[in-house]
Amino acid sequence: MSAAFADVSKIKFEGPQSKNPLAFRHYNPEEKIEGKSMRDHFRFSVAYWHTFRGNGGDPFGPGTMHRPWESGTDDVANACNRARVGFEFMEKLGAPYYCFHDRDVAPEGKTLSESHKNLDAVAKVLKEEQQRTGIKLLWGTANLFSNPRYMHGAATSCNADAFAYAAAQVKKALEVTKELGGEGYTFWGGREGYQCLYNTDMKREVDHLAKFMHMAVDYAKQIGFTGQFYFEPKPKEPTKHQYDYDTAACVNFLRANGLQDHIKMNIEANHATLAGHSMHHELEYAAMQGFLGSIDANYGDLMLGWDTDQFPTDVYLTTQIMLVLLKYGGFTTGGLNFDAKVRRESFEPVDLFYAHIGGMDAFAHGLKIAAAIRADGRLKKMVEERYSSWDSGVGAEIEAGKHSFASLEKYMLEKGEITANKSGRQELFENIVNTYF
Ligand code: XUL
Ligand code: CO
């Protein structure tokens, strides 16, 4: 096979002074920060669906992407060739992982069994390429939203047959993920939500989603798939009310349905902002509850109300993400999957390199800044000082469970008024953060 990216050689780290657009200025996989190599901090992953299947189409016009390796026929031969091109890209980029949906890597057949066969044929190539390059599968997932059969949802459809078809699809996707040594499996709701409550039995739908996830967990156990399951929140799009709205809603769903020991969160930056949260908030919320799993790294244009899935270049965003990751000890099973696509106008193959290099460098830059903030310790000390009323006296006693409303009433009647509040100093905190950039 002739190289699809013949003009690009392996991307190297050249340091912050480099002017080479096809080099890393910050991401140096071997460099250690807080005792761990950058490679292990990030566990970067390429999203197959955007990078190798994105064609640049939008509601106003067709695809624009120039992809000379595509034959133009949606068959298994083209899919196998594309898989080899994908691995050439990932190898040159130096990404240690990738993620896929079943229908991204292999075409859907006319029947379920033909679809299974197509997936097996492409998985064979993926396995060969994984063995050739050492690149691994971070997680797999199933596309339960594109085919019109899922118009009402998959696990939450009003049509029980749609649930059954989705079950068959996820069963197969789990088998293939296992076969490829996948380290995880992600549930993103797709069309699991509703548009109008008048025609919707929400309780029944949410119960079915829980049943579906339990079946997946049971089947994983049955076949010996030991990868981590993830649940990816998104508040809207395609449906108006998605059941996986944000981390808090997902964690509540998992706990309410006895799934908390099997499923962690996969948190996406653009989905966080669509929910009216910052990524910083979503990550901290998941981590503090013990649900930090994996990250879909991207950025959403704050002036647009949809999932723009841009490559992350905002170093404030990457610094905040790395602050949370460092605070909670980093990934155990997850990684940073670039669930991001090049703009419709960035149609040349080399743009795929610029996009990923920029994202990886933004994270490496953010990691260095986050580590510097932590090493200095000033912010941490200021936060501790802000909460110092809880370290002794009545605060420590409340935390230790030594008080009731009655005893606190007695305390306050004696004291009369609270100890004077201190300034929150938000501006100073923000100024100090800026000194590390
Ligand atoms: C959709 C999205 C998905 C999931 C995987 O917004 O983020 O690509 O990451 O199904
Ligand atoms: Co995603």
Pairwise CA distance, residues 138 & 182, whole Å: 6
Q: Which amino acid is at 1?
A: M
DSSP 158-210: SSHHHHHHHHHHHHHHHHHHHHTT-SEEEEE-TT-EES-GGG--HHHHHHHHH
- Reported as a single tens digit per residue, the pLDDT across 400-416 is 999 999 999 999 999 99
Q: Which amino acid is at 119?
A: L
* pLDDT given for residue 317 in this prediction: 98
Distance 80 CA to ligand 2 centre (A): 24
Our answer to whether residue 104 is catalytic in this structure is yes
Cβ burial 323-350 (10 Å sphere, 16+ → b, else e): bbbbebebbebbbbbbbbbbebebeebe
Our answer to whether residue 75 is catalytic in this structure is no
Cβ neighbours around 126 below 10 Å, total: 26
Look up the pTM and report it: 0.97
Nearest-CA residue for ligand 1 atom 4 is 188
Q: Which amino acid is at 3?
A: A
Distance 408 CA to ligand 2 centre (A): 47
* Cβ of residue 307 lying under 6 Å from some atom of ligand 1: yes
* pLDDT given for residue 1 in this prediction: 58
* Cβ of residue 246 lying under 6 Å from some atom of ligand 1: no
Identify the nearest ligand to the CA of 143 by its number. 1
Pairwise CA distance, residues 228 & 415, whole Å: 52
Distance 340 CA to ligand 2 centre (A): 8
- Cβ atoms of 228 and 264 within 8 Å: the answer is yes
Q: At 227, is the pLDDT very low, low, confident or very high (cuts 50, 70, 90)?
A: very high
C-alpha distance from residue 304 to each of 230, 241, 298, 301, 316 (Å) = 27, 18, 15, 6, 20
**Does the pLDDT value for residue 2 go beyond 80?**
no
Nearest atom (ligand 1) to Cα of 296: 9
Helix H or strand E segment including 49 = helix 48-53
* pLDDT given for residue 346 in this prediction: 98
Distance 235 CA to ligand 2 centre (A): 12
Q: What percent of the chain has pLDDT over 90?
A: 99
User: What is the arithmetic mean of pLDDT over 187-193?
Assistant: 96
DSSP 70-105: --S--SHHHHHHHHHHHHHHHHHHT--EEEEEHHHH
End-to-end alpha-carbon separation of the chain, Å?
45
* Cβ of residue 284 lying under 6 Å from some atom of ligand 1: no
| Secondary structure (3-state) at 310 | strand
* pLDDT given for residue 367 in this prediction: 98
User: What is the arithmetic mean of pLDDT over 46-72?
Assistant: 98
| 46: nearest Cα among 335, 294, 280 | 335
| 11: nearest Cα among 338, 311, 356, 365 | 356
Cβ neighbours around 215 below 10 Å, total: 15
- Reported as a single tens digit per residue, the pLDDT across 131-154 is 999 999 999 999 999 999 999 999
Q: Which amino acid is at 173?
A: A
* pLDDT given for residue 260 in this prediction: 98
Question: Exactly one of 102, 104, 246, 339 is catalytic; which is it?
Answer: 104
C-alpha distance from residue 409 to each of 387, 393, 412 (Å) = 22, 15, 5
Identify the nearest ligand to the CA of 103 by its number. 1
* Cβ of residue 143 lying under 6 Å from some atom of ligand 1: no
Pairwise CA distance, residues 232 & 247, whole Å: 8
Nearest-CA residue for ligand 1 atom 3 is 188
Question: Exactly one of 41, 101, 277, 356 is catalytic; which is it?
Answer: 101
Distance 186 CA to ligand 1 centre (A): 9
Provide the CA 280 distance to its chain's centre, in angstroms: 13
- Reported as a single tens digit per residue, the pLDDT across 324-355 is 999 999 999 999 999 999 999 999 999 999 99
**Does the pLDDT value for residue 287 go beyond 80?**
yes
Region class of 416: left (phi > 0), else alpha (psi between -120 and 50), else beta: left
Look over the chain and give the mean of its residue pLDDT values, rounded to a whole number.
Answer: 98
- Spatial CB neighbours of 106, under 8 Å, sequence gap ≥ 6: 76, 79, 115, 118, 119, 121, 122, 123
